[in-house]
Amino acid sequence: MVVDDLVLLDPNEERREAVGGLSERILRARGWKGTFSTTADRDAALEGADFVVVQLRIGGQAARHVDETLPVGYGCLGQETTGVGGLAKALRTVPTVLELAEETAKRANPGAWFVDFTNPVGIVTQALIDDGHRAVGLCNVAIWAQRRLGHYLGVDPDTVDIEHVGLNHLTWIRSARIAGSTQERLPELFDRFGPELELESGVPLDVLRLQEALPSYYVHYYYQHDAEVAQQSVPGHRSRADVVAELETKLLAEYRDPTLVTKPPALSYRGGAFYSLAAVRLMASLHAGTGDIQVVDMRNDGAIPGLPEDAVVETRAMVDAEGAHALPQRPLPPEMLGLIQHAKAYEQLAVRAARSGSRNGVVRALLANPLVGQYPLAAELADALLAANRHHLPRFFPGS
């Protein structure tokens, strides 16, 4: 795939200048001859696009700080993509992303793809696909895990075939094999690198062996919820939002260095490793219709037994010019299936609440959330998160 025209859209002038400047220097240093520009004009950015890649954060790190701290006062997990914080972010985000997708359908080239990186990816992609948009969701969890396993096995990570299955930020790797071989490598990995995998997943090695699977890091928020909340409740605990805000200030300063033509080392601490590689591969496959296998977020269409056809899932897919087609998966054991059924019901209610602006819809979503699920706690949290996000929720507070 050849990119002729690249436009970066950002309403913040400081970010546009710093990120745009570094981006263009990196591209030119690598010999790219295309047209590059930055803009705050959404309509101009979307005009004639073939791909629209979206990563945004309504309310910035300040809103994320609330997502990560407000729930802790109620004895719940503080996290920006799951639990109460994830719902708050979805309420802020879904309407904006849907508006962008609607404008994309009007202004982009026919057949343009809308690629969503914006968290919570599963909920946002569900909203996009429910509305009939030509959209695919993408997360870096699968490609990061594949590269870690390749490192441990001492092989090219691209030769590691993983059976990655579940919902966004609620997934397990149930198999790892080297391409061309039928030998299952997970037991060997648990034996040789158990402490490392336990640390990276946040889940005890006993559970990895019990389930014969490697969960994503986000699963530990479900399996060890109380321990995580206790840690977040310790006086002086710093939220990830605070850490990232400081890092972003440092990175923006580095980006302005006119001699910098590579990604600065500090960027590796920002999170999102291998996102760019995953995005480029996905867009290349959608453009060329190669039919290769990637892990993305798309309609289930029967791939994971026990979930609705129209549920957005995150698993292996065949990617061609018509989109991502989920590949059939082995039936999940009850403890995995039950949890993702529970979480998917919450995600669908979260989409409804974000679209409707209904306070009762928020309460229902929190009641269905596996990390909340109690009353009157759900009602108290609904009122607290709506009040804290009032300025970012026009559907809930018209005219405010």
Give the active site residues.
Answer: 218
Residue the block writes with tokens 């010999």: 31
| The one-letter amino acid at 88 | A
Of 33, 34, 41, 49, residue with least CA distance to 16: 41
The conformation of residue 166, written as its DSSP 8-state character, comes to E
Contacts of 79 (CB under 8 A, 6+ apart): 67, 68, 85, 86, 221
Of 338, 303, 295, residue with least CA distance to 319: 295
Alpha-carbon span 149 to 142, nearest angstrom = 11
Alpha-carbon span 343 to 123, nearest angstrom = 10
Alpha-carbon span 319 to 219, nearest angstrom = 27
- Cβ atoms of 351 and 126 closer than 8 Å: yes
Helix (H, G, I), strand (E, B) or coil at 290: coil
- Cβ atoms of 135 and 108 closer than 8 Å: no
Cis, peptide link before residue 376, omega less than 30° from 0? yes
Cα 78 to its chain centre, rounded Å, is 17
Alpha-carbon span 388 to 390, nearest angstrom = 6
Residue the block writes with tokens 């996009």: 128
| The one-letter amino acid at 249 | T
Alpha-carbon span 162 to 190, nearest angstrom = 15
Alpha-carbon span 153 to 38, nearest angstrom = 42
Alpha-carbon span 97 to 322, nearest angstrom = 22
Name the token pair of 247: 């890092």
Name the token pair of 373: 């699920």
Question: Interhelix angle for 121-130 vs 334-356, to 10°?
Answer: 60
Residue 236 Rama label (left phi>0; alpha psi -120 to 50; beta): left
Cis, peptide link before residue 11, omega less than 30° from 0? no
